[in-house]
Amino acid sequence: MSEDRADEPVLFAELSARRGKIGQITLNIPPTLNSITLEMVDLLQQKLDQWRTNPEIAAVFIDAAGEKAFCAGGDVHALHASAVATPGGPCPYAEDFFTREYRMNYALCTYPKPIICWGHGIVMGGGLGIMAGCSHRVVTEKTRMAMPEITIALFPDVGGSWFLNRMPGQSGLFLGLTAAHFNAADALYVDLADRFISSDYKQSVLDQLQEQSFLVDPQPNHGLVRHILRNFADRSIGNCPGGQVEPHMGAINTLCDGDDIHQVIDNITTGETDDPWLSKAQAGLAHGSKLAALWTQRQLQETRFASLKEVFQAEIKLATQIVRHPEFAEGVRALLIDKDRKPVWQYQASRDVPLALLDSFFVAPWDDNPLADL
């Protein structure tokens, strides 16, 4: 990268292989843990569209600058500013952000060429949305994942309605309700990653990719990428950390086995445990928005059999309604603006939430869905 581009939020390069090229995308705002801004969304979308039709680009490699994070989420400060600017009404910036972000996520999910995502460090929220959509997802010994939206009264979006519903047993619901952190082994177990590779091998992976003779047809190129990643994964097996989700599946399924969502919330928040991982998960839900817990479970229920296109169309509907409601602004204020970690939620118990209010979040706020053309 040239020095005059070093401060750009996303860096792009075209790496020559023996035949064809690899497009490299690097998220490049380490001080904010590479949190996704609207500018970054648009840059990603533009380049993905350009490379999709460029016959020289055989594969895409997405990574991030810095050692701490691939991407910690979206630019929530900007979303908060948009929400408080027009309380109770349309929030043009926030709604535009979600629309364009989900469109970019959908582009990743449906991309015909191999996309390798190097998910090193923190991968949360919007970052997990980017990684989940890629065809070849790599995690390392430093990978730390979560969908922490309940802490700010949002919901696991960016395709969360798709991938949480496809996790083993009740693990998707549990992770969505509790904001529980999980690692590389867990990501492999819940199908949010395809390979564990030690972080020291990153440059070697890129070097091997550049040694390939790629074809114009993308399908054989997926096989070439799998072959390279498999070899490095085989060398890395001994460095993979122990997981938390699979060993806790018995407890997770029991806790999420309730007659209704209220009982599930009770099970998780009131159970006695001396297990550190379950205790943190319990605290995540206990301190989170109960209204958000309800719309999270409802969203997963309503999109259980939805297509990928329908998932993103449902997510933009719910996200739009949420940013127009004060619960979201209060959650962001407490966690990220004032940082007092003392949100004043509108309802202290899930059973206090009027059903009509919950229903209102699932009513389209416009005549035409902005993602109808996906």
Number of domains composing the chain: 1
The three-state DSSP-derived secondary structure of 329-359 is: HHHHHHHHHCCCCCCCCCCCCHHHCCHHHHH
Residue 70 CA to chain centroid, in angstroms?
Answer: 11
Is 374 inside a domain boundary?
no
Q: Each residue of 52-80: pLDDT tens digit?
A: 999 999 999 999 999 999 999 999 999 99
Q: Each residue of 241-273: pLDDT tens digit?
A: 999 999 999 999 999 999 999 999 999 999 899
Is 194 inside a domain boundary?
yes
Q: Each residue of 266-321: pLDDT tens digit?
A: 999 998 999 999 999 999 999 999 999 999 999 999 999 999 999 999 999 999 99
- From the list 294, 270, 268, the residue with the least C-alpha distance to 178 is 268
Is 205 inside a domain boundary?
yes
- What is the predicted pLDDT for the residue at 88? 87
pTM comes to 0.96
Is 369 inside a domain boundary?
no
Quote the CA–CA distance of 374 and 370 in Å, as a whole number.
9
Q: Has residue 4 got a pLDDT over 60?
A: no
Beta-sheet strand order (sheet of 144-146):
69-71, 122-124, 144-146
Which CATH number do you get for residue 267?
3.90.226.10
With beta carbons less than 8 A apart as the criterion, state whether 56 and 21 touch. Answer: yes
- What is the predicted pLDDT for the residue at 138? 98
With beta carbons less than 8 A apart as the criterion, state whether 137 and 117 touch. Answer: yes
Quote the CA–CA distance of 101 and 108 in Å, as a whole number.
11
Domain span at 198: 3-360
Is 372 inside a domain boundary?
no
With beta carbons less than 8 A apart as the criterion, state whether 181 and 142 touch. Answer: no
Is 187 inside a domain boundary?
yes
- What is the predicted pLDDT for the residue at 128? 97
Mean of pLDDT values over 160-169? 98
Is 59 inside a domain boundary?
yes
Quote the CA–CA distance of 26 and 10 in Å, as a whole number.
6
Whose tokens are 């379950």? That residue is 278
Is 12 inside a domain boundary?
yes
189/87: higher pLDDT: 189
Q: Has residue 2 got a pLDDT over 80?
A: no
Q: Has residue 363 got a pLDDT over 70?
A: yes
User: What mean pLDDT is reported for the chain?
Assistant: 96
- What is the predicted pLDDT for the residue at 1? 42
Q: Each residue of 328-357: pLDDT tens digit?
A: 999 999 999 999 999 999 999 999 999 999
- What is the predicted pLDDT for the residue at 5? 65
pLDDT above 90: percentage of residues in the chain: 97
Q: Each residue of 128-161: pLDDT tens digit?
A: 999 999 999 999 999 999 999 999 999 999 999 9
With beta carbons less than 8 A apart as the criterion, state whether 298 and 359 touch. Answer: no
